[in-house]
């Protein structure tokens, strides 16, 4: 049905390009899963894992499997026939955000676990400034994570195609159709204009927060490794 109504002019070569992209993504995901599970089983059998590390390994392997399950659940939403709908078929933006979010959690947890094993923890005096810096860093992390999830909603709704000007959206700072859907809460997740607007605001706020974090960190005596991490974060935020 979709082919007849929307993509009847697609060639076999064009279809193969899309198919191989999806197939490669699935195969790469399975390789990642094996890269987690096989070494984990080997280290476990050899008795090289401490009790806390066993719990961590189980959580990471479980998250890998959950990530694959979410991927299947997401793709399934794009293959469902929607009666009386002639819209371009796309996966659910909710499932796409969940799939991306779980991938970010998996990556972050893996990186944190690896660095915790490879690098010794710095013994720093717990000053009020250091505590505030740590709290602000955690808040900035949560903000960046939320910004990334909002990007998944932009992608899922093709919301990036609605307005392509910056900093204004069209001729206005605040578009007219920002709250066009009813009830109002639905706009945040399903109105392409609102989704793009929220993503812009979150992106600007994230870059601002990273900048403040960097400037605040300059006032505190920190180890060289920590200074490099904050500086790298600032650079990557502005490149992004």
Tens of pLDDT, residue by residue over 180-221, are 999 999 999 999 999 999 999 999 999 999 999 999 999 999
Does residue 125 register a pLDDT over 90? Answer: no
Residue pair 131/208 in contact (Cβ under 8 Å)? The answer is no
Q: Looking only at Cα atoms, what is the longest distance across the chain?
A: 68
* Angle made by CA atoms 36, 37, 42, in degrees to the nearest 5: 110
| Stretch 149-176: mean pLDDT | 93
Domain co-membership, 76 together with 177: no
Region of 197 (left: φ > 0; alpha: ψ -120 to 50; beta: rest) is alpha
pLDDT above 90 covers a percentage of the chain that reads 77
Does residue 1 register a pLDDT over 60? Answer: no
Domain co-membership, 96 together with 137: no
Specify the pLDDT at position 215: 97
Domain boundary residue, one of 74, 101, 119 = 119
Compute the mean pLDDT over every residue in the chain, rounded to the nearest whole number.
91
Domain co-membership, 114 together with 148: no
How confident is the model over 64-107, as pLDDT tens digits?
999 999 999 998 887 776 655 556 677 899 999 999 999 999 99
Does residue 27 register a pLDDT over 70? Answer: yes
Domain co-membership, 71 together with 136: no
Q: Where are the alpha helices (DSSP H) in the chain?
A: 2-5, 12-46, 51-78, 93-118, 128-157, 186-190, 192-217, 224-239
Torsion of CA 9, 11, 15, 16, to 10 degrees: 180
Number of structural domains the chain divides into: 2
Specify the pLDDT at position 78: 79
| Stretch 3-32: mean pLDDT | 87
Domain co-membership, 107 together with 2: yes
Domain co-membership, 53 together with 25: yes
Domain co-membership, 217 together with 233: yes
* Range of the structural domain that residue 6 is part of: 1-119
Q: How many residues are there in the chain?
A: 240
Domain boundary residue, one of 119, 153, 185 = 119
Domain boundary residue, one of 91, 119, 147 = 119
Does residue 52 register a pLDDT over 60? Answer: yes
């Amino acid at each position: 049905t979709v082919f007849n109504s929307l993509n009847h002019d697609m060639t076999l070569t064009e279809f193969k390009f899309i198919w191989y992209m999806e197939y490669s993504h699935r195969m790469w995901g399975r390789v990642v899963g094996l890269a987690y599970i096989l070494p984990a089983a080997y280290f476990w059998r050899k008795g090289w894992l401490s009790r806390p590390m066993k719990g961590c390994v189980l959580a990471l392997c479980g998250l890998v499997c959950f990530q694959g399950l979410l991927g299947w659940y997401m793709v399934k939403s794009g293959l469902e026939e929607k009666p009386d709908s002639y819209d371009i078929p796309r996966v659910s933006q909710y499932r796409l955000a969940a799939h991306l979010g779980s991938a970010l959690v998996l990556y972050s947890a893996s990186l944190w676990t690896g660095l915790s094993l490879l690098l010794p923890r710095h013994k720093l005096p717990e000053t009020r400034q250091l505590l505030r810096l740590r709290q602000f860093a955690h808040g900035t992390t949560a903000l960046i994570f939320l910004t990334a999830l909002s990007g998944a909603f932009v992608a899922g709704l093709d919301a990036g195609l609605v307005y392509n000007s910056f900093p204004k959206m069209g001729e206005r700072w605040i578009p007219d159709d920002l709250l066009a859907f009813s009830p109002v809460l639905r706009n945040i997740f399903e109105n392409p204009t609102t989704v793009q607007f929220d993503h812009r605001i979150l992106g600007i706020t994230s870059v601002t927060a990273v900048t403040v974090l960097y400037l605040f960190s300059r006032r505190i005596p920190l180890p060289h490794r920590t200074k490099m991490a904050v500086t790298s974060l600032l650079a990557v935020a502005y490149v992004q």
